[in-house]
Chain A
């Protein structure tokens, strides 16, 4: 860019281009939404099959998939943060939401002996919904918002269901709030 005479149109064009270029690219999160969505859905269905078809009492070990996915996510965003050369309000809003989400999730996990597992899974569905509905709202990406509220609705239903049905509902909740919106996200462009 040089120091030529600027017309008003040039000025507006520069401003718009620059503002546009700083926009948060949610497509970059596609892989993370899909990974979590499929992993939770598969884990809950596997939990159901192992526990209620094969009557394996330690079926809940399938949830060890969660800390593994957590580590992968941590590395993914850690690297992204290391390479990021600007801080935006949206980055901060998104990470604030998801950090608070993780903390709330851990609190309910810790409190599970007190509140009982039959309440924990429905609470998780509501939490998943909060995460995706707020992220979708910030990004103006409707499928995440709709999926988030659907997940909360499924959570409400799950409070009244036995544990085996809850496992199905958990899979349904993440399919509507993570898997479907994840597939609807545009492919990430190299930036």
Chain B
């Protein structure tokens, strides 16, 4: 029965081919350092899932942001768990993405024909850091407020266009309700959209070229 259903679907979707291309592709002899990309992808999915759930209660307004998070932590069943995973997962994702980049650099995996994979990876790193920067403001406590004050001030120190960048980031000269709202929009819509597109490109390139061999003594 299930065999029939599977065969019917496989004929139309090519499930078997997909499995071979995605999961059963030939791999060079590797080690645990080769798993960091998958770990980054897993953390991205975890952050997406917990982040979506957090938006059920979180309110991006200066009047309610802090209180809504207090409510998530103390009033909602498993709120501490969902937010805890999102909070620690965020730091972990930055770390894992960064070590992944170092691994690719030290094994020279960015070289021909994988230069574009590396360039897309730079975009992924920047987007991940952007997620961290915008997410940091959302709790709207003292640490979040002043960290973003400092962060946007640093961006504002760019010669000539610094003032414009600062105002564009803050949505005006001050850190305000507009800042919180646009950081929220960036955090849940814009950056994830770009991140998702770049992840798609990154994965396509990895499947297209396969993973690189570890350099041997002759290389």
Task: Decide whether A and B assemble into one complex.
Answer: no
State the A residues within 8 Å of B (CB). Answer: none
Residues of chain B touching chain A, judged by Cβ–Cβ distance below 8 Å, are: none
